[in-house]
Amino acid sequence: MTYELREGLSVTHAGHAYVYRRPIHGWAPRRGWRFGLGARTGMGSDDHHVDDLLIEARVPRSPHTSWPASPRPAPPPANTPHL
């Protein structure tokens, strides 16, 4: 997952782009923010596991720098829907 200030949010997993360059209006990261994870199954029951999670936060050096700084994801295939 990356957020480019000028291009928006991109979420990829196992080479598949689920969200690509989706703007989040009003996004303003602040010191002290925390991350949370959640899962649900509706009326059923199931186990939910998280493995190999890495969260990095870096302050951009300029308005043109990625936040967090990371390589750009590959463009999604033409049939990838925007969520």
Pick the closest to residue 63 from 22, 4, 2 (CA basis). Answer: 4
- Backbone CA torsion sign across 4, 7, 9, 14: negative
Contacts of 22 (CB under 8 A, 6+ apart): 8, 9, 10, 82, 83
Please report the pLDDT score of residue 16 as a whole number. 92
pLDDT at residue 22, rounded to an integer? 93
Query: What pLDDT score was predicted for residue 83?
Result: 53
Q: Please report the pLDDT score of residue 21 as a whole number.
A: 93
Joined together, the tokens standing for residue 15 give: 């080479």
Structural domain spans, the chain: 1-25+51-83
**Mean pLDDT for each consecutive 10-residue tract of the chain (83 residues)?**
84 90 85 83 85 73 51 57 54
Supply the pLDDT for residue 34: 83
